[in-house]
Amino acid sequence: MTIPNSSLPVSVVTGAARGIGLATIRWFLAHGHQVAMLDINAEELTKAALEYQGDERVLALPCDVSNPEQVQETMARIEAHFGRIDALVNNAGVAVFKTLGTTSFEEWRYVMATNLDGAFLCSQACVPVMLKNGGGSIVNIASISGLRASTLRVAYGTSKAALIHLTRQQAVEFGTMGIRVNAIAPGPVETEMAKQVHSAAIRADYYDSIPLGRYGTMEEIASAVGFLCTPDASYVNGQVLAVDGGFDAAGVGLP
Ligand code: NAD
């Protein structure tokens, strides 16, 4: 039986079984938060949560963010367990790198359902809980592919561009209620996702186009996410922070 601490902030991270999501969980734990780790991959989630077995600050729950019933039920379980939610990081995402001509409708819907519907559903379920405690912070993990277009990212880039606009809509709607909403647009980060979709040509182009000349690390994304959830960012609302080694500033097109 775990006994959560009702005075510590509670942060919910989706897609937390690995990659940027897991790095964000580690950032929150290192900075005095309690965390709820959500992921569709129950096996990988259990593996990731093993590290925190017996740690009363950590709750790991399998959840498909694109499933409205699962999302409602999961957020209710988090509230029942911790009694509050202070931050939500909509990080769960999938990538299909194809042209418009080769993307099937099923692939398009899969990407939209995870990357966009997931953030909509999780935010909708979390906001009433945050409001009971006076407000909070939402961070949507977008991408530089949501800021810049390219031939291979018709579904992925469009989902992330829509997520950036959803961020602004949420910031306007919830700002008056004490909930700040911002987005992070990461550049390329060496994760399982990048291994799956970054071809040699894409990698070469990133190395050429990024002023810092390298991929980012998961920890570099996590610390920017964490910052947006702290009182240090108390006047930051509706913004998109590119954490991309200067890629967007350089203004060079994606391959
Ligand atoms: P990853 O594939 O390593 O991790 C994503 C996690 O999300 C996985 O654990 C997966 O099981 C989970 N997930 C997928 N669908 C889900 C669903 N329906 N419900 C719940 N969980 C689900 O990827 P990553 O690179 O760590 O990416 C994290 C986020 O960062 C994504 O939104 C991604 O689009 C974004 N991003 C990544 C990069 C990069 O280069 N890696 C760049 C820009 C943006």
> Residue 16 carries which side chain, given as an amino acid letter?
A
Whether ligand 1 lies within 6 angstroms of the CB of 17 is answered as yes
**Ligand 1 pocket member 143 (CB < 6 A):** yes
Residue in 110, 156, 215, 235 annotated catalytic: 156
d(CA 177, CA 152): 39
Element (H, E) at 129: helix 118-132
What interhelical angle do 118-132 and 154-175 show, nearest 10? 20
Task: Walk along the chain (255 residues) and give the pLDDT tens digit of each residue.
Answer: 445 777 899 999 999 999 999 999 999 999 999 999 999 999 999 999 999 999 999 999 999 999 999 999 999 999 999 999 999 999 999 999 999 999 999 999 999 999 999 999 999 999 999 999 999 999 999 999 999 998 899 999 999 999 999 999 999 999 999 999 999 999 999 999 999 999 999 999 999 999 999 999 999 999 999 999 999 999 999 999 999 999 999 985 555
Q: What is the 191 CA–ligand 1 centroid distance (Å)?
A: 9
- Answer yes or no: is the C-beta of 91 below 6 A from any ligand 1 atom: yes
Contact status, residue 137 vs residue 229, Cβ threshold 8 Å? yes
* Ligand 1 midpoint to CA 73 (Å): 22
* Model pLDDT for residues 23-64, shown as the tens digit of each residue: 999 999 999 999 999 999 999 999 999 999 999 999 999 999
Any ligand 1 atom below 6 A from CB of 9? no
d(CA 185, CA 42): 27
Q: How far is the CA of 3 from the centre of ligand 1 (A)?
A: 30
Q: What is the pLDDT of residue 252?
A: 57
Q: Which atom, in ligand 1's list, is nearest to the CA of 114?
A: 18
Q: How far apart are the first and last CA of the chain?
A: 52
Q: Residue 120 CA to chain centroid, in angstroms?
A: 12
Distance CA 170, CA 120 (A): 9
Rounded to the nearest angstrom, the distance between the alpha carbon of 209 and the centre of ligand 1 is 23
How close is the Cα of 144 to the center of ligand 1, in Å? 14
Model pLDDT for residues 92-104, shown as the tens digit of each residue:
999 999 999 999 9
CA-to-CA distance for 143 and 161, rounded, in angstroms?
8
- Cα–Cα separations (whole angstroms), residue 55 to 10, 59, 74: 14, 9, 19
| CB distance 187 to 207 below 8 Å | no
Quote the pLDDT of residue 143: 98
Task: Please report the atom of ligand 1 found closest to the CA of residue 17.
Answer: 9
Which residues, 6+ apart, have CB-to-CB distance to 214 below 8 Å?
207, 245
Q: Whose CA is nearest to atom 41 of ligand 1?
A: 189
Nearest residue to 57 via CA among 72, 78, 88: 78
Residues sharing a CB contact under 8 Å with residue 231, sequence separation 6 or more, in sequence order: none
| Ligand 1 contacts CB of residue 163 (under 6 A) | no
ipTM for the complex shown: 0.99
* Residue 110 bears catalytic tag: no
Composition of the chain by helix, strand, coil, percent to 5: 50, 15, 35
Please identify, by atom number, the ligand 1 atom nearest to the C-alpha of residue 215: 40
